[in-house]
Structure 1
Amino acid sequence: MDSSFLRHRVDLSGPKTAIVAIRCASVVALLLLLAPLAMAQSTYKYIRKHKEDYDDKVVHFGFYYALPFTRYNLTYRPDFATSTNDPSLLRITSPTNSGFRVGFSVNAYMNDRFDFRMTPGVSIYSREVKYAYANAEDKSDVRESTWIELPFVFKYKSARRLNSRMYLLAGAVVGIETNVKKRLAQSQGRLNTNTTDLSIEYGIGFEQFFEYFKFAPELRFTHGLPNVFAGNTANPSSAGIQRLTTHAVTLYLHFE
């Protein structure tokens, strides 16, 4: 067969060949993009569901570590400007300080949507009140203390999706300070506060089920209800304080 005839029938440099090549390349690129999705879907179908009978057990026990960030919510006295006998005092604030908490958890199953949880623990706090002066250095009163805290919360959980689910929680916390030395604190001009507290608490969490345990990071917000300020005659600047309530934002790491 004449070679010129072949060249005439199959013109490799023609526009039709270029269009075909572009279409082929597009198909190949599309297949390459869809392949990982197909593989992921195939893998998803065979993901093992860990601890399938978890909710069949009424009570679960675990432990946790937590990192609280805490401060006082402070209210001035109405006569703040004259109550301190110090005209150079500009303001009183409470900065946020970090602490540490460790404890154990008891989770009681109620129904498909609600659980009741207790998370008693020991907390170490360093709460502070800072005094700013117009023509002098700032001063601070620090309350370093150890608390035994008993949170009681109700937990509302979503439907489980394979090995994970979200939840909300709300409840109350009873706190008791354990290492109090009132006389020493007052003699040194330190911050004097009550040794008990009652707070409301709410938060959000995420449960991830593994083969041998459950891990749940959680974020809680805590607001103290009573006035914990007990007065302090050793520090005249604190006379401008009318009310102190506790406040904390805490990151929990639960293991069950």
Structure 2
Amino acid sequence: MHSTHFRHQLYLHGSKIVVSFLLLMGLAVSPTFAQINSTVNLPNFDEQHWHYGFLMGLHTANYRLEYVDDYVTPEFDTLHSVVPPSKMGFKIGFIVDYHIFETLDVRLTPTVGFNQLQLNYRYTNGKILEELRDPTYVELPILLKYKSVRRRNRRMYFLGGINPSFKAASSKEREDTDRLLTKNFNLSVDVGIGMDLYQPLFKFSPEIRYSFGLLDVLAEEQNDFSAPLQRLTIHSLAFYITFEGGPSTFRRKGGKYKR
């Protein structure tokens, strides 16, 4: 059931990657805090209406399920439970941010998310059947970003919005019906919190975001994997780092460029 795809190697060594990720973030943040009481970086950054950038993130995702009413009948007397463990994945994407006014932005962050989603079917005889899927989703989150007042080189923010996503299904996956079948479209509500850290040449932001799945992703076609399930949604918790710049980080003044 498991392959040697490089994404699976990422999940296998997920804890090492998270530690390395946090260390890199700490190295990037430390220069900013060292300058809090001295230089004000990018003083005109938030006066620009458009900002662009990219993001990278690690996330854990899992199914949330509801059983069918017939689950307590003799038809499923050998099935003890269906357990959805959390699995690690990663995301990469771009940022298009429009500054509405001082404390509010609207942003579009088209993202590609590489996931592992699993259900463990536990039977009364002790047997466990693992059903593992590794879908790739193209996500198009539309978010509102509410920001605090800037304190020198930092400012906190909250964000929230909707996140429609489309599964990039391969032809092999479409032909493989002896698996858990899910729909190709999902919709979730995303909420998060982060901090903008202004560097000399760009803005760096660590961010935590939770995604609540709204739609039932179970396919209409039934098989043994979906028989005990009434509803299946996807939830995830993600940690991102974002890098943003503006169309003109520097402004020309008196024949010289001034930051």
Same-fold status (TM-score > 0.5): yes
Please give the alpha-carbon distance, in whole angstroms, between the structure 1 residues aligned to 2:192 and 2:200. Answer: 26
Please give the alpha-carbon distance, in whole angstroms, between the structure 2 residues aligned to 1:156 and 1:53. Answer: 18
Query: Given residue 172 of structure 1, which amino acid in structure 2 is its aligned partner?
Result: I
Asked if the contact 1:71/1:97 (under 8 Å) is kept, the reply is yes
SS at match of 1:238: coil
Asked if the contact 1:228/1:244 (under 8 Å) is kept, the reply is yes
Aligned pairs for 1:205-216 (under 5 A) are 205-216=194-205
* 1:241 maps to which of 181, 205, 229: 229
Closer, same or farther in 2 for the Cα pair 1:231/1:143, shift >3 Å?
Answer: farther
Cα deviations across residues 119-141 of structure 1 (Å, max 9, x unaligned)? 10111111111100110420021
Q: Identify the residue that residue 57 of structure 1 maps to in structure 2.
A: 48
Asked if the contact 1:89/1:237 (under 8 Å) is kept, the reply is no
Please give the alpha-carbon distance, in whole angstroms, between the structure 2 residues aligned to 1:63 and 1:160. Answer: 22
SS at match of 1:99: strand
Aligned pairs for 1:53-202 (under 5 A) are 53-82=44-73, 85-181=75-171, 182-186=173-177, 189-202=178-191
Asked if the contact 2:36/2:153 (under 8 Å) is kept, the reply is no
Q: TM-score, normalised by structure 2?
A: 0.77
Give the RMSD, CA atoms, in angstroms. Answer: 1.8
Asked if the contact 2:58/2:89 (under 8 Å) is kept, the reply is yes
Greater mean deviation of Cα atoms: 73-82 or 199-208: 73-82
Q: Identify the residue that residue 252 of structure 1 maps to in structure 2.
A: 240
Asked if the contact 2:89/2:115 (under 8 Å) is kept, the reply is yes
Closer, same or farther in 2 for the Cα pair 1:142/1:170, shift >3 Å?
Answer: same
Asked if the contact 2:169/2:184 (under 8 Å) is kept, the reply is no
Please give the alpha-carbon distance, in whole angstroms, between the structure 2 residues aligned to 1:45 and 1:171. Answer: 31
Please give the alpha-carbon distance, in whole angstroms, between the structure 2 residues aligned to 1:249 and 1:48. Answer: 35
Asked if the contact 2:209/2:239 (under 8 Å) is kept, the reply is yes
Q: Identify the residue that residue 211 of structure 2 maps to in structure 1.
A: 222
Asked if the contact 1:231/1:239 (under 8 Å) is kept, the reply is no
Identity, % of aligned pairs? 34
Residue 45 of structure 1: how far off its partner (Å): 8.9
Closer, same or farther in 2 for the Cα pair 1:175/1:136, shift >3 Å?
Answer: same
Please give the alpha-carbon distance, in whole angstroms, between the structure 2 residues aligned to 1:68 and 1:45. Answer: 30
Asked if the contact 1:148/1:175 (under 8 Å) is kept, the reply is yes
Query: Given residue 70 of structure 2, which amino acid in structure 1 is its aligned partner?
Result: D
Uncovered stretches (5+) of structure 1, i.e. residues with no partner = 1-42
Please give the alpha-carbon distance, in whole angstroms, between the structure 1 residues aligned to 2:184 and 2:156. Answer: 35
Please give the alpha-carbon distance, in whole angstroms, between the structure 2 residues aligned to 1:169 and 1:45. Answer: 24
Closer, same or farther in 2 for the Cα pair 1:134/1:51, shift >3 Å?
Answer: same
Q: Identify the residue that residue 30 of structure 2 maps to in structure 1.
A: none
Closer, same or farther in 2 for the Cα pair 1:215/1:133, shift >3 Å?
Answer: same
Residue 171 of structure 1: how far off its partner (Å): 0.2
How many residues align? The count is 210
Cα deviations across residues 1-21 of structure 1 (Å, max 9, x unaligned)? xxxxxxxxxxxxxxxxxxxxx
Closer, same or farther in 2 for the Cα pair 1:209/1:227, shift >3 Å?
Answer: same
Residue 225 of structure 1: how far off its partner (Å): 0.8
Q: Identify the residue that residue 17 of structure 1 maps to in structure 2.
A: none
Query: Which entry has the higher C-alpha Rg, 1 or 2?
Result: 1
